[in-house]
Structure 1
């Protein structure tokens, strides 16, 4: 069912917590996780500088992925890693489609308050844009997501 699971990873606490959950899901589904880092090379400060800065962003991505890979190693999960460049939300959606991902798993934590209102969240944009199913998970400090699920809320508006 979920043989190919895409997990866009950054260095946030939410991503680290939800990655553990995604690892359990992949184990249950006998699937493989692609741990993806998107180097946001569309920022104004990046587009005006030399390629050495872009190379630095890609190198930073490799450093960011290391703890995620260590988490998946500890769970004995099958995974691959990849680093791509672009606008995060759109790049994640395009990657999922191009590489036939069955599911995208993302945390809901990130920007809050005015920053979230003005810029929106990457997760929210991915949910709106993706044709690939998206599983969002929110963690509360001190709580751990348990899998498999006991209760699932499925909101619907009755449309096709």
Structure 2
């Protein structure tokens, strides 16, 4: 039924909640799991709005790479247990993230990719270009004004993708 399953991740708790579902589906259907990170160019290393990057000074472009100047406390972003190294680029952060996910998965073939651009558009493009049969995404469970102001990559993918999208809500702590 499924040959290619896409798991877009930003390293957040919401996307980590979806990983088990993506791996389970890939194992059940002998599918390849595609792990994708998309960095929104004008935001921080995770693609989240600056407000959510407490402890991160504004990044800058140096030689075509986005350089994060300083991170006082990576745990405040909630994005990943492995923050980018001081001075690391968004691409390096994404590469480390998808490799960490790939290393944690066993029993299914895994392909990784890191792209730059508008996350929901790049997720859709990747799904189309790689004959993805199912997209498995986490959701942060934001509601009301937060959801309206921040938008939701998952919601945009659900509304616009040609493939089925399985959404997994982050568990409450």
Asked if these proteins are the same fold (TM beyond 0.5), I'd say yes
- Indicate the residue corresponding to 1:63 in structure 2: 96
Are the counterparts in 2 of residues 4 and 32 from structure 1 also a CA contact under 8 Å?
A: yes
Query: What are structure 2's unaligned runs of at least 5 residues?
Result: 45-57, 68-87
Cα distance in 2, alignment partners of residues 13 and 104 from structure 1: 17
CA offset at residue 113 of structure 1? Answer: 4.9
Which of the pair is proportionally richer in helix?
A: 1
- Indicate the residue corresponding to 2:61 in structure 1: 49
Task: Give the alignment partner of residue 128 of structure 1, picking from 159, 164, 167.
Answer: 159
Task: Answer yes or no: is 1:35 the counterpart of 2:35.
Answer: yes
- Indicate the residue corresponding to 2:21 in structure 1: 21
Are the counterparts in 2 of residues 6 and 35 from structure 1 also a CA contact under 8 Å?
A: yes
- Number of positions where the alignment pairs a residue of Structure 1 with one of Structure 2: 139
Are the counterparts in 2 of residues 5 and 102 from structure 1 also a CA contact under 8 Å?
A: yes
Query: What are structure 1's unaligned runs of at least 5 residues?
Result: 143-160
Map 1:1-160; keep pairs closer than 5 Å.
Answer: 1-43=1-43, 49-50=61-62, 51-53=64-66, 56-73=89-106, 76-109=107-140, 111-141=142-172
Report the TM-score, using the length of structure 1 for normalisation.
0.76
- 1:86-126, Cα deviation, whole Å (9 max, x unpaired): 10011101111111111111012265553322131100000
Are the counterparts in 1 of residues 13 and 170 from structure 2 also a CA contact under 8 Å?
A: no
Report the TM-score, using the length of structure 2 for normalisation.
0.71
Cα distance in 1, alignment partners of residues 37 and 23 from structure 2: 17
- 1:22-43, Cα deviation, whole Å (9 max, x unpaired): 1011100110110000021144
Cα distance in 2, alignment partners of residues 57 and 113 from structure 1: 30
Are the counterparts in 2 of residues 20 and 72 from structure 1 also a CA contact under 8 Å?
A: no
Are the counterparts in 1 of residues 39 and 117 from structure 2 also a CA contact under 8 Å?
A: yes
